[in-house]
């Protein structure tokens, strides 16, 4: 089968389309014929080993041999392991692997998949897992969002942000999204009650207004991010679209600062480390079936143009998700 692999860290030019053996499956895994994948900042961070911390998990000097890039996917089940009870060959599924979705087939643990909603295309379904899990777990689990709360999402027009705005609305919040001028209409169309144009207004000046602030951008100090919160509000630290390139820790530095500061402030500071799982995928599928949320697709690239898709996402200005047709 064809798969996108890389044998040194660097820009998208290091990627090569290779002929490799189809993966075998463990007893709890499913072989999925990939119909679509999606791109996340996670992918270029692994491709470049940026932050350098990535090297600890996939290879100190170079990527371990045989690794295939890509996490999010949607496709058709081809074979199942002995212990797999949830899926059968022919099922249309979506979900995520740690690495390996930029390929014609991939082995996926059954607890990282769910059945694809019938009305959803493969490209849309592939765009869900990493971004929507992060948004959901940040708002509902770490953020403990309850209906009626006022929520601000910084980075509302990106992969995670477009899900966060819709999920916060679906969970009953009053939502403010922060984005640039060109994305105001998009963020409003997702249900935001209010929009802050980051080119015209600094949301950190809105002192004491929000019960929960989800920061996906990572370009402000914790002191500034806490300012728009009520005295008992919650800061949810998700990521760093605009932070930490070329550093040892990258966006993890903000996460670390948050963890260190949390015991000393009255507001809650929490961090998100998304955990893909079937239960949350089913919850998201149900919301999509009821048309409460929908993936926002910016662009779709063919499988042969994955390096181009990565180049685009790396610039940090995607509007929603970027999908790959396999």
Ligand X SMILES: NC(=O)c1ccc[n+]([C@@H]2O[C@H](COP(=O)([O-])OP(=O)(O)OC[C@H]3O[C@@H](n4cnc5c(N)ncnc54)[C@H](OP(=O)(O)O)[C@@H]3O)[C@@H](O)[C@H]2O)c1
Q: List interacting residues with ligand X (CB under 6 A).
A: 40-42, 130-131, 134, 154-155, 157-161, 178-180, 183, 198, 216-217, 219, 238-242, 251, 272-274, 313, 316-319
For ligand X, which is the closer residue by CB, 12 or 23? 12
CA distance 312 to 315: 6
59 in the Ramachandran plot: left (φ > 0), alpha (ψ -120 to 50) or beta?
left
Q: At closest approach, how far in Å is the CB of 274 from ligand X? A: 4
Q: How far is the CB of 263 from ligand X (least distance, A)?
A: 20
Cβ neighbors of 43 (< 8 A, separation 6 or more) are 69, 70, 71, 102, 310, 313
Inter-residue contact 186 to 297 (CB < 8 Å):
no
DSSP strand pairing (29-39 vs 105-109): antiparallel
**What's the min distance (Å) between Cβ of 315 and ligand X?**
8
Nearer to ligand X, 79 or 311 (CB): 311
Going by their DSSP bridges, the two strands 194-197 and 150-154 should be labelled as unpaired
What is the spatial distance between Cα 87 and Cα 40, in angstroms, rounded to a whole number? Answer: 26
Residue nearest to ligand X (CB): 239
Least distance between ligand X and beta carbon 199 (Å): 9
> What does the alpha-carbon distance between residue 112 and residue 131 come to, in Å, rounded to a whole number?
14
Nearer to ligand X, 92 or 142 (CB): 142
- Among 120, 131, 119, smallest CA distance to 156 is for 131
Q: Which is nearer to ligand X, 77 or 297 (CB)?
A: 297
- The pair phi, psi for residue 208, each rounded to 5°, is 70, 20
Ramachandran bin of 26, using left for φ above 0, alpha for ψ from -120 to 50, beta for the remaining angles: beta
Q: Phi and psi at residue 81, in whole multiples of 5°?
A: -75, 165
**Minimum distance of ligand X from residue 86's CB (angstroms):** 24
- Could you count the other beta carbons within 10 Å of the beta carbon of residue 235? 24
In the complex, the smallest distance separating the C-beta of residue 159 from ligand X, rounded to whole angstroms, is: 3
- 8 A C-beta contact, residue 218 and residue 157: no
Q: How far is the CB of 105 from ligand X (least distance, A)?
A: 24
Nearer to ligand X, 23 or 319 (CB): 319
Cβ contact 185:192 at 8 Å:
no
Q: Of 73 and 160, which CB lies nearer to ligand X in the complex structure?
A: 160
Specify the residue, 2 or 144, whose C-beta has the smaller distance to ligand X.
144
Q: Which is nearer to ligand X, 45 or 79 (CB)?
A: 45
Q: Nearest distance from residue 134's CB to ligand X, in Å? A: 4
């Amino acid at each position: 089968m064809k798969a996108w692999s890389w044998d040194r860290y660097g820009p998208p030019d290091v990627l090569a389309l290779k002929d490799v053996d189809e993966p075998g499956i463990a007893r709890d895994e499913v072989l999925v014929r990939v119909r679509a994948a999606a791109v996340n900042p996670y992918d270029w961070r692994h491709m470049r080993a940026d932050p350098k911390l990535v090297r600890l998990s996939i290879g100190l000097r170079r990527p371990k041999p045989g690794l295939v890039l890509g996490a999010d996917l949607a496709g058709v089940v081809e074979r199942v392991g002995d212990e797999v009870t949830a899926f059968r060959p022919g099922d249309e599924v979506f979900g995520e692997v740690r690495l390996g979705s930029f390929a014609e087939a991939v082995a996926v643990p059954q607890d990282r998949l769910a059945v694809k909603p019938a009305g959803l295309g493969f490209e849309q379904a592939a765009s869900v897992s990493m971004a929507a899990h992060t948004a959901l777990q940040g708002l509902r689990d770490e953020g403990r969002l309850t209906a009626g709360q006022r929520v601000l999402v910084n980075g509302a027009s990106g992969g995670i942000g477009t899900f966060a705005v819709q999920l916060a609305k679906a969970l009953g919040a009053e939502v403010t999204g922060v984005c640039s001028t060109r994305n105001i209409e998009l963020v409003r169309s997702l249900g935001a009650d209010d929009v802050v144009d980051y080119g015209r207004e600094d949301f950190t000046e809105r002192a004491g207004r929000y019960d929960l602030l989800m920061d996906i951008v990572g370009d402000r100090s914790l002191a500034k991010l806490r300012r728009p919160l009520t005295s008992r509000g919650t800061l949810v630290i998700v990521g760093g679209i605009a932070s930490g390139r070329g550093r040892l820790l990258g966006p993890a530095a903000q996460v670390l600062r948050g963890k260190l500061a949390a015991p000393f402030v009255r507001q809650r500071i929490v961090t998100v480390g998304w955990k893909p799982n079937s239960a949350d995928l089913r919850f998201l599928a149900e919301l999509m079936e009821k048309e409460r949320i929908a993936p926002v697709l910016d662009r779709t690239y063919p499988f042969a143009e994955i390096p181009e898709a990565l180049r685009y996402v790396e610039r940090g200005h995607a509007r929603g998700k970027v999908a790959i047709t396999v």
